[in-house]
Amino acid sequence: MANLQQNYRNVLAEIAAAEAAASRPAGSVRLVAVGKTFPAADIRAVYCEGQRDFGENYIQEWYAKTDELADCPDIVWHIIGQIQSNKTRPVAERAHWVHTIDRLKTAQRLSSQRPEHMPALQVCIEVNIAAEAAKHGVKPEEAVALACEVAKLPRLKVRGLMCVAAAAADDAGLQAQFKQMQALLTQLQAAGVAADVLSMGMTADMALAVVCGATHVRIGSAIFGQRDNV
């Protein structure tokens, strides 16, 4: 537990250093702390250090955590995993962000299920930037068209694009992927969608993502520790 606080502070310092190295303003990169497989108590410990944005991959696990952390009502929940059609309702009712939209059908369900009294659900289109068969997301050349369709849905707000870079890539390869994401965001803006988010960068490739314009980095293991292989 004591480690979590130190880990968290180290990650904040690393983000600040990456911003400075990239000549970007302090505070321009938002940390999403990814707590998948870790208990609600660990999330609470990081919350008590001041963190508010938390990411989760598995809907059932996340939903249980929202109950356990109901006394922390200002947590901002980011869904960063796949959402099966039959799991859209809890997401529409309790999440603030979904980073992983890659089908219009899922977006339509989320929009129709988003309660009227809540603000629009913030969403990103997931791009399979590494073109890996095992990865989710739309092909890069399909991202702008999907985003434009999703932008028409009344209860969603398209904020930008998200990717998971190829784990095996070297720095040059990673940078090429992140730069392509940056170019896609520019295309999306030119198409008339007021998008401002690039959700990219994880524990291993965060600094490079910041150089390439990441606005949200999703960091798990550097804060919470190594995960069992799931």
The contact set with ligand PLP (CB under 6 A) reads: 34, 36, 57, 80, 164, 202-204, 218-222
Residue 193 CB, shortest distance to ligand PLP, in Å, is 22
Q: Which is nearer to ligand PLP, 36 or 109 (CB)?
A: 36
CA atoms of 130 and 137, how far apart (whole Å): 10
Q: Which is nearer to ligand PLP, 103 or 155 (CB)?
A: 103
Residue 120 CB, shortest distance to ligand PLP, in Å, is 22
Q: Which is nearer to ligand PLP, 184 or 214 (CB)?
A: 214
CA 162 to chain centre: 7
CA atoms of 133 and 84, how far apart (whole Å): 19
Q: Which residue is nearest to ligand PLP (CB)?
A: 220
What are the two backbone dihedrals, phi and then psi, of residue 36, each rounded to the nearest 5 degrees? Answer: -55, 140
Residue 81 CB, shortest distance to ligand PLP, in Å, is 6
Residue 57 CB, shortest distance to ligand PLP, in Å, is 5
Q: Which is nearer to ligand PLP, 148 or 166 (CB)?
A: 166
Q: Are strands 216-219 and 121-127 parallel, antiparallel or unpaired?
A: unpaired
Q: Which is nearer to ligand PLP, 11 or 144 (CB)?
A: 11
CA atoms of 164 and 161, how far apart (whole Å): 11
Q: Which is nearer to ligand PLP, 140 or 220 (CB)?
A: 220
Residue 190 CB, shortest distance to ligand PLP, in Å, is 27
Q: Which is nearer to ligand PLP, 19 or 126 (CB)?
A: 126
